[in-house]
Amino acid sequence: MISFPHAKINLGLSIISKRTDGFHNIETIFYPLPILDVLEIVPSEKTEFFSSGLPIAGVPDDNLVMLAYKLIKTKFPQIAPLEIYLHKSIPMGAGLGGGSSDAAGILHLINKLFNLQISRQKLNDYALELGSDCPFFMQPAPCIAKGRGEILEPIALDLSAYSFVLVHPDIMIETAWAYSSIIPSLPKYDLKKSILQPIQNWVNTIQNDFELPVFEVYPGLQKIKEKLYTSGAVYAAMTGSGSTIFGIFKKSDQPVSFEVENARQTWINC
């Protein structure tokens, strides 16, 4: 059984307050993008994990895919061992949510393969145990996210008239460090209202709080954002805690290509 976990970008990201459980309250827009991993599960005599594509850091047992399998196994001990295959196309440590998307994909696949009939709400609960943004990947629709990122409200946001350029430098941003560099505060503008304004206005009202501390340490990321604007982007920003910088362009514009040392560029038409 196969699924194709997708990436996401953050349109705006405000770190509002530190919680007593150690997490942060945030506000952001999750927007899905068709950069796809490939995930396959096959019943087997023993559980094994195989990967291809982009390199995956760390040991297999610590991968979110395996953690998702182990979580479901504790809830439903009767499920058979699995061979799990992951072809990685979504870069890690890039703010694109690939690991969380893969984890959500495993939950969906196992529920379907073994006919566990787990409710959507219970699947979301399991997803939240794996990561704050995992519940978003249980549904592929634009959402405004609050709380840790698990309080989701669908929004009518259609960017099909635009193309996206993603620039991913060979830099992995440690999420815990990024959060430690932020002084939480209430956002200056209402994100839900701002996102419904013409996209040309977003530059004035929608921002990612992580950009200031991350750009101070990695000034090359700010230069990429500036280059996207000078190349014609109607909006550009960093996604998540980085390091991917994206630009949104009118589809009538020509594809953007510029040299960034040790960086991948991806052009996406949604």
- Contact criterion met (CB below 8 Å) for 97 and 133: yes
8 is catalytic: yes
Which is the catalytic residue, given 133, 146, 209, 227?
Answer: 133
The DSSP H or E segment spanning 268 is strand 263-269
End-to-end CA distance of the chain: 26
DSSP 208: B
Which residues neighbour 263 within 8 Å (Cβ) at sequence distance 6 or greater?
A: 167, 168, 169, 170, 224
Residue 193, CB-side half-sphere exposure with 13 Å CA sphere: 6
Distance CA 208, CA 237 (A): 7
The DSSP H or E segment spanning 162 is strand 162-169
What sign does the CA torsion over 175, 244, 13, 104 have?
Answer: negative
Query: CA geometry: angle at 85 spanning 81 and 88, to 5°?
Result: 145
DSSP 63: S
133 is catalytic: yes
Residue with tokens 């959060």: 179
Three-state secondary-structure class, residue 37: coil
- Contact criterion met (CB below 8 Å) for 133 and 100: yes
Which is the catalytic residue, given 8, 146, 225, 227?
Answer: 8
Q: Which structure tokens are listed for 212?
A: 């200031």
Q: Which residues are catalytic?
A: 8, 133
